[in-house]
Structure 1
């Protein structure tokens, strides 16, 4: 499993290449970690930089560059990191990936291959490229350690925080946050009721396939949670709460209306846990909401 020393090593490796994103107060004992302001619009840029740099140091990177499979954000992160490091990138995405994300991939210089209706199908196609370094979207130790650098920043900025709410798809983000912040901080997983890979795994006692649908499926639509995330969530006794599509839509709208924060639906899921009451903090509990991605079409926010 990944531990805090792995996360600290990742922080040293990617320092100066990623943004230290701000934390803002959202009321009494409430904060937002504005990771949606990260390069390429999501936290995954941290993990991708760490994956490529760590692999390069181990001699695993070839002239063929990297290949990734993604519903959108991991591909954007891979394309950004590869461009910054001068490495070729090929990204496989499902045909259902939002057009805004696909267009941005091209602008970042990646070769885009659209195949299948779900992440799992794009993933299988990407693995056929055996000459390039495969960058898993979430179930990779280097990815997880890089993502965990968010938690180190949050602890630096809000050392008094009791709880952090984290939206979960495949689990690469929450695994990193667990490594960086447990046991000092309670980490709560938030998942759409229609895409509940971690929730189902914790109930079953091991990762299982789940059906995927809903407004946040493009970013939280992993059919099966990663092994790393499952083991870390199990060991850390992490609670997963579920939120409805309606709650996600309302939370996203509220973030825009009240704070002028524009995020994607998957990101809004974390805030929806508070807004809907799926997670109810105790009196005086100090809670941070991790806002992890901004790759959305904002036209429906007006």
Structure 2
């Protein structure tokens, strides 16, 4: 199921998977926990719940998949050191970016919003990456200014290579002998859900329903679906990794084609889900819990008797942060 207007094709995703698994960045095939329904008594017992743990990925989130694929096609002036790399991130993409720069001996700068947790800022700096802090609504303008001064922008949202790299998750799900009826994925800028949705649907599961899940306070893709075009808006959520101030053009196009709908969850639902996962021995950050929060709060329609795959996307949360979140 492909056409000329596809943002990424299944061949793009397969090539990306080969590239990132052969890279020196230690990208892993992450576990898929099957038949997990009994761990959550609040769920309909006929639902077959499967949990894909990108929280156990290298650097603690799925982001390294996209970054590794982006790094494979850097222009020569970046490889030679003539230009430095720049990106923006609230945490997980920045961590993957900084980790990659360190491994590949490259120089770069990460712009971070004022809302970024101090622990993430310190971590990215500890990996040798420079950091500059800006208000969220000024990040895009700041990136443009740096690009005019000999920086090369590595887009953390709206980049075909990044989306294709994230789509490698879909191939792993299918290789684990799960034929999902429903796949539920968190959504910030939309790179992960775009890649996963394209990968699942173009692999032949044309009836599989893919849902994107956003925090109520950071609902850029939700509002983009309602408006019919990508929107920019003020955002605020405990799930800072799901809170870019805009939806990407490419990710919006891909989501419109392959995503059934965008579901909203509250910060309270996200934190309650984090606690529930911790109770069964799984560590996840707030941003990593959004998709599972939608399942636990019965926000995904028609899941009774269905094979459901939920992505747990990140584990970058400190013990002190967890203790402040979980009451």
CA pair 237-91 structure 1, distance change in 2 beyond 3 A: closer
| Residue pairs, 1:60-79, within 5 angstroms | 61-63=79-81, 64-79=83-98
Unmatched 5+ residue regions in structure 1? none
Inter-partner Cα distance in structure 1 for 2:80 and 2:192 = 27
Inter-partner Cα distance in structure 2 for 1:92 and 1:270 = 27
Q: 2:145 aligns with which of 123, 128, 150?
A: 128
- Does residue 245 of structure 1 match 2:299? no
Unmatched 5+ residue regions in structure 2? 1-6, 38-46
Please identify, of 124-133 and 2-11, the stretch whose mean Cα deviation from structure 2 is larger: 124-133
Q: Size of the alignment, in residue pairs?
A: 297
SS of the residue 1:174 aligns to: helix
- Does residue 294 of structure 1 match 2:300? no
Partners of 1:61 and 1:133 within 8 A in 2: no
Q: CA deviation at 1:29?
A: 1.4
| Alignment partner, residue 54 of structure 2 | 35
| Alignment partner, residue 55 of structure 1 | 74
| Alignment partner, residue 193 of structure 2 | 174
For residues 1-39 of structure 1, give each alpha carbon's deviation from its aligned partner in whole angstroms, at most 9, with x where no partner exists. 111111111111111431111111223611111101112
Inter-partner Cα distance in structure 1 for 2:198 and 2:63 = 16
| Alignment partner, residue 235 of structure 1 | 257
SS of the residue 1:54 aligns to: coil
| Alignment partner, residue 2 of structure 1 | 8
- Does residue 102 of structure 1 match 2:121? yes
TM-score scaled by length of structure 1: 0.92
Q: Which has the larger radius of gyration?
A: 2
SS of the residue 2:73 aligns to: helix
- Does residue 204 of structure 1 match 2:227? yes
| Alignment partner, residue 186 of structure 1 | 209
For residues 193-237 of structure 1, give each alpha carbon's deviation from its aligned partner in whole angstroms, at most 9, with x where no partner exists. 111111111111111123311211x11112221111111111225
TM-score scaled by length of structure 2: 0.86
Q: CA deviation at 1:60?
A: 6.0
SS of the residue 2:66 aligns to: helix
| Alignment partner, residue 29 of structure 2 | 20
Q: CA deviation at 1:296?
A: 1.5
Q: 1:256 aligns with which of 257, 278, 281?
A: 278
Q: CA deviation at 1:152?
A: 1.0
| Alignment partner, residue 63 of structure 2 | 44
SS of the residue 2:226 aligns to: helix
Inter-partner Cα distance in structure 2 for 1:22 and 1:147 = 16
CA pair 114-210 structure 1, distance change in 2 beyond 3 A: closer
